[in-house]
Structure 1
Amino acid sequence: MSRTVLITGTTGTVSTALMNALEGADAGLRTLVRDESRAHGLRERGAEVFVGDLDDARSLPPAFEGVHDLWLLTPNGPRAPENSMNAVWAARQAGVERIVRLSVVGAAHDAPNRSGRLHALSDREIERCGMRWTILRPHWFMQNLLNEAGSISSTGTFSLNMAAARLGMIDVRDIAECAARVLLDGPDRHHGQTYTLTGPRSLTFDEVADALSRALGRPIAYLPVSDDARRKTLLGYGVPRWIVDMLEEYAQAYASGWQDGATDAVATVLGHPPRDIADFVRDHAAAFTQT
């Protein structure tokens, strides 16, 4: 019998990729959106759409009724543990069998960033929720590089406040494929597992620039900048101050060597290695090319 999967964070990068990864699978897809205006495209893809908000626990029960598996992705922000708590409670009340939760790399009560500490609270709740569960902790998304596409296209450079950090960065498509595999494998196979998902190797941004140079056929350079310079840029784009502070904490941690390394978790789940940076830049070359 087909299982019903409720996907939260539906319009975000990872959940969108998850919808792609689940296309054609033997699963009933249900999505939770905050705004009815976002529902049309999801219905065209064959998903049931329910309007609800993780900020509002009272809005959630209809979406959870009859669900077997919950894909839980909460918005980045100070209310993330509350959002997760609301979803877990709605899932428990509705008799959901399993939660597959997207956490973050290095989530821990002593993480050097507020996001990691907040996610640790929700991870612990999931571990004790009484349902089957799996937690995915992905590293820095390769897709974050698309935020620098304009600069790369126009100037051949990109600037981050990461100094010489080395990161086990991962393609979001691999995160989504891992999530899809866990969801489709059934509720027992991955129960109680926490997977730290990375790419095949740890990279510096100079190595990323080299990969971009080879793919685009022109020189691309990484230009490290200070925290203050990056903060000014992000605030100028309208990024909320809380997010800017959080990103700065991550950058400082990465620059200090925190989370330098790679795991075999993707290969364990999927049976094949994750995409390398060369695969990512080749597949997204058009985004980095001025039109």
Structure 2
Amino acid sequence: MIVITTPTGQIGRQVLGTVLATGKEPVRVIARDPSRLSPDVRERVEVVTGSHDRLDVLTEALDGAGAVFWVVPPDPRADSVEGHVLGFARPLCEAIADRGVQRVVGVSTLGRGWAGNAGQISAALAMDEMIEGIGVDYRALLMPGFMENLLQQAGVIRSQGVFFLTLSGDRRNPACATRDIAAVAARLLLDDSWSGQEGVPVLGPEDLSPNDMARIMSEVLGRPIRFQQLSGEAYKATLMRNGVSEAWAQGIVDMGAAIDQGLYRAQPRTPESTTPTGFRQWCEEVLKPAVAG
């Protein structure tokens, strides 16, 4: 039995689709709102209704499970970044110990060994440490920023021809597409031969700066797109004006500062960590329709 959290989320729905397509394992999902699952999916999975930060929900869902796909959903209104993330991880660890789950594949982040405060990244690393501390076999998927994060600015790209980050315009970093994260996760969930605890980097095929991204976006969209760097203070104020809590906004600013200082580049690229979807392909297949629509 494979248990999948966030089955309607960006990554979870793609993991679910891949695992179901193989037909190798029965699948159980945890869903706050099962009506968001397609009728076809609901016919092929067991559904446990509820939030996976609740021990009773996790205890029910993990009964008889061999592997779990684990994602902590963001909460931009949380009053503590680490409190939110570990508020999900604690009941997971208790339920794993109670139900004897063998393997967990978790969405985490690059940055292991980073000494400073990195906001949401630091919280995800604390989650990894908590899960590993109970001795379960664990594969933490170590990602840089998702290409899909740019979809949050699709309207601004459409109307103003600009996108904003706190990063330096010429600083190159890896970026990955959620389809590739899902592919790696599904492969691990369907493979019962691994054990122990390791990080699995998912780095995309190339390192790009925001200025590189602007050039590629301009070519794909057929119009000039420019990048504009915002100060941490300005970005935080913008987030808070849009309803993000001060703690979550500060975490995003701290995360951006750590990335700009080289957090993502500390992980060397290898053939195993290089995934196939390039930024140009992603722009053509995902960003362009979003901006047009």
- Relative to the length of structure 2, the TM-score reads 0.87
Task: Look up the match of 1:60.
Answer: 58
Distance change (3 Å), C-alpha of 1:168 and 1:161: same
User: Which of 201, 204, 218 does residue 199 from structure 1 map onto?
Assistant: 204
Task: State the one-letter code of the partner of 1:268.
Answer: E
Q: Residue 174 in 1 paired to residue 176 in 2?
A: no
CA distance in 2, matches of 1:42, 1:263: 41
Distance change (3 Å), C-alpha of 1:111 and 1:275: farther
What is the 5 A alignment of 1:273-288?
273-284=275-286, 285-288=288-291
1:115 Cα offset (Å): 2.3
The farther-off stretch of 84-93 and 9-18 is 9-18
The structure, 1 or 2, with the larger RCO (C-alpha pairs under 8 Å, 6+ apart) is 2
Task: Look up the match of 2:30.
Answer: 32
Q: Aligned to 2:48, what secondary structure does the other structure show?
A: strand
Aligned 8 A contact 1:202 1:260 in 2: no
Task: State the one-letter code of the partner of 1:225.
Answer: L
- Point out where structure 1 has 5 or more consecutive residues left out of the alignment: none
CA distance in 2, matches of 1:189, 1:59: 27
Task: Look up the match of 1:268.
Answer: 272
What is the 5 A alignment of 1:1-291?
4-25=1-22, 26-38=24-36, 43-44=41-42, 46-76=44-74, 77=81, 78-108=83-113, 110-164=115-169, 165-186=171-192, 188-189=193-194, 191-260=196-265, 263-264=268-269, 267-268=271-272, 273-284=275-286, 285-289=288-292, 291=293
Task: State the one-letter code of the partner of 2:185.
Answer: A
- Point out where structure 2 has 5 or more consecutive residues left out of the alignment: 75-80
Q: Aligned to 1:22, what secondary structure does the other structure show?
A: helix
Task: State the one-letter code of the partner of 1:9.
Answer: T
Q: Aligned to 2:187, what secondary structure does the other structure show?
A: helix
CA distance in 2, matches of 1:63, 1:107: 30
Aligned 8 A contact 1:200 1:262 in 2: no
Q: Percent identity?
A: 25
CA distance in 2, matches of 1:228, 1:108: 27
The superposition leaves residues 201-242 of structure 1 with CA deviations (integer Å, 9 ceiling, x where unpaired) of 221111011111111111111111222222222222222332
1:44 Cα offset (Å): 3.4
1:151 Cα offset (Å): 1.0
Aligned 8 A contact 1:32 1:50 in 2: yes
Task: State the one-letter code of the partner of 1:137.
Answer: L
Aligned 8 A contact 2:69 2:106 in 1: yes
1:31 Cα offset (Å): 0.9
Distance change (3 Å), C-alpha of 1:190 and 1:220: farther
Distance change (3 Å), C-alpha of 1:41 and 1:108: farther
The superposition leaves residues 34-66 of structure 1 with CA deviations (integer Å, 9 ceiling, x where unpaired) of 345545658436221102333322332111111
